[in-house]
């Protein structure tokens, strides 16, 4: 580090206070609308100057995302204790702005029901459970679930106001049974690792393979072992795990300590000296919570976050826009060329807007401060450590 950088690091904290002090002094001296504008201009100008000096001296900006061990998966969760005996709320979300709250429940028999507006009543004399569910446009419908048959009937609107019918069916086993048998819309549930999921759920339509395999053009053997436990009822997030089952990644039979959801995005250098795989970080409950790129080079694995952020933070207010990355090419000496773009989704699909130029912060797992990288025409280059 040069002498100028060392001097900046020593007095950087005091210089960061200078914009506030100087702008306050300008306002006190002028005490007018022009003074307020001048003070604000001084605040912005000095803040931008401090950021530019940070960049010139290689200092990580305040608030920039960090990497290191934070990008590595947590210790795998181990099932403990007995399975839940009653109903368990798994998640909830608001429909629209200020709309009703829809709750996903795992019922006592392991059945997962989505979009519930009111919890399911205890089984009646016929063994049926009655609940309220939200359908299109947040309309309420009465749902009747049969734990014995693993089937749920959703009553049509012409059956009457949902809340009135819901209350009327409570305690009337005969009418509940009649409504259940006469219903035209019936959903069957299928078993999946201790759960009962609707037949149209992705996990029941396309059950995850116990092993994923891929051989690269240069002969590397990638494999991924499914990490789902046999009984998802013992996990903190059974529905999320069923929807995104995690896998442990291996290369040529050796464990990587890295995790993936699939092997559909793999990039290899011309000589096979570097391999990049789309992956994820797993939290303590084995749920994927951070998109990554796993890179193998010189016998070692590295992980990089799958999106970057602007290196210069907004001086006053504003928000940080993430830019997603995707490898364009990989070299044998461990250089990865990424494209960086901002994605927006509309009814017509995804629109990508590349990052034209500037500097971005990319968290990586081999050091705590993020890499500060230059972007040119939507492209940035990462050099993996050589040792």
DSSP 363: -
Whether the Cβ atoms of residue 341 and residue 378 lie closer than 8 Å to each other: yes
pLDDT tens by residue, the chain, 387 residues = 455 555 655 556 556 566 666 666 666 666 666 656 665 666 677 666 766 665 555 454 444 456 788 888 987 766 666 677 788 888 877 766 656 678 889 999 999 998 887 778 888 877 899 988 887 666 788 899 999 999 999 988 776 688 888 888 887 889 999 999 988 889 999 999 999 999 999 999 999 999 999 999 999 999 999 999 899 998 888 999 999 999 999 999 999 999 999 999 999 999 999 999 999 999 988 889 899 999 999 999 999 999 998 765 544 444 567 889 999 999 999 999 999 988 777 777 777 777 877 888 999 999 988 999 999 988 999 999 986
DSSP annotation of 216 reads -
Burial (CB count <10 Å: 0-12, 13-18, 19+), residue 337 = middle
Quote the CA–CA distance of 68 and 58 in Å, as a whole number: 18
Measured distance CA(46)–CA(42) in Å, rounded: 6
Phi-psi sector, 109: left (phi>0), alpha (psi -120 to 50), beta:
alpha
- Per-residue pLDDT, 251: 98
Q: Are 310 and 361 in contact (CB under 8 A)?
A: yes
CA angle 240, 243, 244 (to 5 degrees): 85
Q: Residue 26 has what pLDDT?
A: 60
Distances, alpha carbon 185 to alpha carbons 124, 144, 182, in Å: 21, 11, 9
Q: pTM for the full model?
A: 0.78
């Amino acid at each position: 580090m040069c002498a100028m950088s060392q001097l900046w690091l020593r007095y950087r904290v005091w210089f960061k206070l200078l914009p506030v002090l100087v702008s306050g002094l300008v306002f006190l001296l002028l005490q007018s609308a022009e003074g307020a504008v001048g003070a604000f201009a001084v605040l912005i100008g000095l803040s931008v100057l401090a950021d530019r000096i940070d960049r010139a001296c290689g200092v990580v900006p305040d608030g920039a995302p960090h990497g290191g061990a934070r990008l590595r998966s947590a210790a795998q969760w181990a099932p403990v204790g007995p399975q839940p005996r009653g109903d368990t709320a798994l998640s909830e979300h608001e429909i629209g702005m200020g709309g009703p709250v829809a709750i996903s429940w795992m019922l006592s028999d392991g059945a997962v029901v989505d979009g519930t507006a009111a919890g399911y009543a205890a089984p009646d004399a016929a063994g049926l459970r009655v609940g309220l569910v939200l359908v299109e446009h947040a309309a309420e419908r009465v749902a009747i679930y049969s734990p014995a048959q693993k089937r749920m009937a959703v009553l049509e609107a012409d059956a009457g106001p949902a809340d009135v019918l819901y209350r009327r069916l409570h305690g009337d086993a005969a009418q509940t049974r009649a409504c259940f048998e006469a219903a035209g819309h019936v959903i069957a549930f299928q078993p999946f690792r201790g759960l009962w999921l609707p037949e149209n759920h992705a996990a029941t339509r396309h059950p995850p393979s116990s092993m994923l395999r891929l051989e690269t053009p240069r002969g590397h053997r990638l494999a991924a072992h499914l990490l789902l436990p046999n009984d998802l009822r013992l996990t903190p997030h059974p529905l999320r795990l069923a929807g995104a089952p995690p896998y442990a990644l291996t290369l040529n039979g050796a464990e990587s300590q890295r995790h993936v959801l699939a092997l559909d995005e793999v990039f290899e250098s011309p000589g096979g000296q570097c391999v990049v795989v789309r992956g994820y970080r797993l939290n303590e409950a084995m749920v994927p919570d951070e998109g990554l790129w796993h890179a193998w080079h010189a016998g070692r694995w590295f992980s990089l976050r799958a999106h970057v952020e602007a290196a210069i933070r907004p001086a006053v207010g504003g928000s940080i826009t993430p830019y997603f990355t995707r490898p364009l090419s990989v070299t044998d000496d461990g250089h990865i060329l990424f494209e960086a773009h901002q994605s927006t989704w509309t009814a017509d699909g995804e629109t990508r807007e590349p990052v034209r130029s500037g500097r971005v912060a990319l968290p990586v797992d081999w050091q705590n401060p993020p890499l500060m990288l230059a972007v040119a025409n939507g492209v940035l280059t990462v050099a993996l450590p050589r040792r």
